[in-house]
Amino acid sequence: MQNILLDTNALVFYLAASERFGRKSIRTLDNSNLFFSPLSLVELKLKALRGKFKGTITSKDLDALGMKELRIGSEVVDEIIKLDTSDPFDLMLIAQAKAAGYTFMTADSKILNAELDFVLDLSD
């Protein structure tokens, strides 16, 4: 079983049972250990405060679904890479997945366009 860290967008789509997930991605998710980052919870909270996200998602909600938290430590700093994005959450989440040796699943075209070998397109 592989370990997958869900990008914030993938996490929201997963909780909403979105049809944006492709068949291959659904099979992959069903046969993997799913992880969330506390960074995603911070990102969603900030979006909610700005009126760009409705609702709340807590670590308890994700724990109840069997997801595990991938804690973030200073080792992540060494894995930050240059990407065509100014979003610090994207940079930190990718670095977090890379530092842990996990696969990263996203719908973000800027991340997908970087063609990183540990990143999966959730629409596949």
Give the DSSP per-residue string, 15-26: HTT-TTS-HHHH
pLDDT in tens, the chain (124 residues): 899 999 999 999 999 988 999 999 999 999 999 999 999 999 999 999 999 999 889 999 999 999 999 999 999 989 988 888 889 999 999 999 999 999 999 999 999 999 999 999 999 9
Q: Could you please state the CATH topology (level 3) that the domain comprising 2-121 is classified under.
A: Rossmann fold (3.40.50)
Q: pTM of the predicted model, to two decimals?
A: 0.94
Q: How far is Cα 7 from Cα 33, in angstroms, rounded to an integer?
A: 14
Short-list 89, 102, 98, 95, CA closest to 12:
89
Residue 100: both structure tokens together: 């842990």
Are 83 and 91 in contact by the 8 Å Cβ rule? The answer is yes
